[in-house]
Amino acid sequence: MTVLLAALAAVLVGTVLQRVSGTGVGLVVAPVLSLLMGPGAGVLATNAATTCSGFLITLSVRRLVEWRHAAVLVTSALPGIVAGALVVRWVPSAWLQVAVGAVVLAALTITRFSPATPRASRRAAVVPAGLIGGFFNSTAGVAAPAMVVYSRVTRWDQVRFAATMQPVFMSMGILSTVSKLAAGVHFTLPVPALAALAALVATVLAGIVAGTWLAQHLSKATAQKLAMALAAAGGVVVLVRGAATLLLG
């Protein structure tokens, strides 16, 4: 029961952040569940939570979602997910995590601190962003940093970005969950599955309500800074996780 309560607390915080900034559930929940349930089961449970949160938040912000844009990003992510899965078979995951974390942090640093933030058109950047996001999601479990960098270089409106990311993350969560269940990855829950699902939905709904209220009191600039901070945190988590595995393993 302690595991379930800790997981739901992480989902609540992540959902609030995701409703405000567009990202949050995966970055907050994955480290917590990986510690509580082990890496494989923890990431699988995170994928399920991301699917649920993405679906419910999409319902609440559907009028702001750029559906064609989301469809292109998800479609572009598919080859990246497949490529990442193939790479994982040959390259130790720790080295991949170090490489991905370093690339994410470098990209965010350039975007944040360069005298003039690089600029690109959506037409030129959307497919590479989807590919990279899918690859990062497959190899290290973090697509959000790539999406945040993409939003900055294309000058994507923060409100539209936050809304459109929900069906994108939901789709990635579905793909990851289905593929892992098909591969035989499972996890046990301290309560019946239906009770856990009901608790998850109730927690996500509470997070949406709180996040919606908070979003009304934050400026676009503040929300964008929060998204950048969360993306940086994701890069650090992946980098440290990989480095720790190399040093201790």
- Where residue 129 falls among pLDDT bands split at 50, 70, 90? very high
Report the pLDDT value the prediction gives residue 125, as an integer from 0 to 100: 94
Angle between helix 25-37 and 220-248 (nearest 10): 30
Name the residue with higher pLDDT: 242 or 38.
Answer: 242
pTM score > 0.85 for this model? no
Q: Quick check: 12 pLDDT over 80?
A: yes
Report the pLDDT value the prediction gives residue 39, as an integer from 0 to 100: 58
Q: Quick check: 223 pLDDT over 90?
A: no
Q: What is the mean pLDDT of residues 139-163?
A: 85
Report the pLDDT value the prediction gives residue 113, as an integer from 0 to 100: 67
Q: What is the mean pLDDT of residues 178-195?
A: 72
Report the pLDDT value the prediction gives residue 70, as an integer from 0 to 100: 96
Could you give the percent of the chain with pLDDT greater than 70?
89
Q: Quick check: 94 pLDDT over 90?
A: no
Q: Quick check: 61 pLDDT over 80?
A: yes
What mean pLDDT value characterizes the chain?
82
Q: Quick check: 131 pLDDT over 90?
A: yes
How far is residue 153's CA from residue 89's CA, in Å, rounded to a whole number?
Answer: 32
Q: Quick check: 122 pLDDT over 80?
A: yes
Q: What is the mean pLDDT of residues 113-135?
A: 84
Report the pLDDT value the prediction gives residue 72, as an integer from 0 to 100: 97
Report the pLDDT value the prediction gives residue 202, as an integer from 0 to 100: 94
Angle between helix 25-37 and 39-61 (nearest 10): 150
Q: What is the mean pLDDT of residues 61-71?
A: 95
Report the pLDDT value the prediction gives residue 23, as an integer from 0 to 100: 78
Name the residue with higher pLDDT: 62 or 83.
Answer: 62
Report the pLDDT value the prediction gives residue 71, as an integer from 0 to 100: 96
Report the pLDDT value the prediction gives residue 40, as an integer from 0 to 100: 60
- Where residue 76 falls among pLDDT bands split at 50, 70, 90? very high
Report the pLDDT value the prediction gives residue 154, as an integer from 0 to 100: 93
Name the residue with higher pLDDT: 77 or 249.
Answer: 77
